[in-house]
């Protein structure tokens, strides 16, 4: 019995050492992967990387991880001299194959991503003469309220719709008010302030935008991809 108890103590100690070593290894790998993602994606800040699954060491020996999550911070897209700021960007990579250095993500069988843009940043990206705010959903479309700056009117509001095409976010006024259509050049003036599009060229891998939705605090974008490749 004494020998059995000693054996059990040894097993417990070895198990604890393995768990500690496994967690130290995954923390180191997360830091290295974060640096790799930052340099390969040209990010402003080092992302937060979380490697899922236990034990990590047996996964990394096979150069295959169940899931890697990354909080990538912000990014921006420019069009017509205006910059659209994305204040939050995250991605989740599934069935990940590691590179030969065991720290870089070579590919993932699938990936999903989420991004958030505030109405303040959307307003700035529209040129500063326009105010854009939440208008909810209608007939399956994500809508915003747009207030263009038209001197002949004290106030003018139009409803606009947000859509995605490829990795481009498009904003279009649904309809120009009749009082504006009756004035020469008013419609084109409104359209120049309400109709915009921005291409998000820094999405990780070959993720493509799937959907845009309006929320009370901004717009939410979702993206996905399969057989995702990332530069090492």
For range 201-213, the mean pLDDT:
81
- Model confidence over 157-193: pLDDT tens digits? 888 888 888 888 888 888 888 888 888 788 888 888 8
What pLDDT score does 108 carry? 81
Q: Is the pLDDT of residue 88 over 70?
A: yes
In the predicted model, what is the mean pLDDT of residues 66-78?
A: 76
The predicted structure's pLDDT at residue 199 = 85
Higher pLDDT, 95 or 57: 95
Per-residue pLDDT reduced to its tens digit, 1-27: 544 443 443 444 434 434 455 556 666
pLDDT at 148: 81
- Considering only 1-15, 49-63, 142-156, 172-186, which range has the smallest mean pLDDT? 1-15
DSSP letter at 46 equals P
Where do the domains of the chain lie?
1-232
The number of helices, as runs of H, and strands, as runs of E, in the chain is: 5, 11
CA 149 to chain centre: 31
Who wins on pLDDT, 83 or 166? 166
Element (H, E) at 101: none
Return phi, psi of residue 217, to 5°: -100, 5
Mean pLDDT of the 130-156 span:
79
Q: Where are the alpha helices (DSSP H) in 100-230?
A: 119-125, 178-181, 186-194
The enclosing H or E element of 28 equals helix 2-41
Closest CA to 210 of 164, 160, 161, 144: 164
């Amino acid at each position: 019995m004494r020998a059995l108890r000693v054996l059990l103590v040894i097993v417990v100690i070895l198990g604890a050492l393995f768990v500690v070593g496994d967690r130290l290894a995954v923390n180191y790998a997360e830091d290295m992967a974060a640096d790799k993602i930052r340099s390969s994606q040209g990010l402003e800040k080092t992302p937060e990387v979380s490697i899922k699954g236990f034990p990590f060491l047996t996964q990394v020996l096979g150069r295959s991880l169940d899931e890697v999550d990354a909080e990538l911070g912000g990014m921006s897209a420019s069009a017509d001299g205006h910059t659209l700021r994305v204040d939050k960007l995250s991605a989740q990579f599934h069935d990940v194959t590691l590179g030969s250095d065991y720290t870089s993500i070579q590919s993932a069988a699938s990936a999903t991503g989420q991004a958030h843009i505030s109405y303040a940043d959307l307003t700035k990206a529209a040129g500063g003469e326009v105010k854009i705010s939440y208008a909810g959903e209608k007939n399956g479309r994500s809508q915003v309220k747009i207030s263009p700056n038209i001197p002949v009117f004290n106030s003018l509001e139009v409803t606009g719709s947000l859509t995605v095409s490829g990795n481009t976010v498009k904003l279009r006024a649904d309809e120009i008010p009749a009082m504006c259509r009756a004035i020469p050049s008013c419609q084109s003036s409104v359209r120049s302030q309400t109709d915009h599009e921005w291409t998000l060229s820094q999405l990780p891998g070959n993720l493509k935008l799937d959907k845009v939705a309006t929320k009370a605090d901004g717009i939410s974008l979702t993206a996905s991809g399969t057989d995702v490749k990332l530069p090492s």
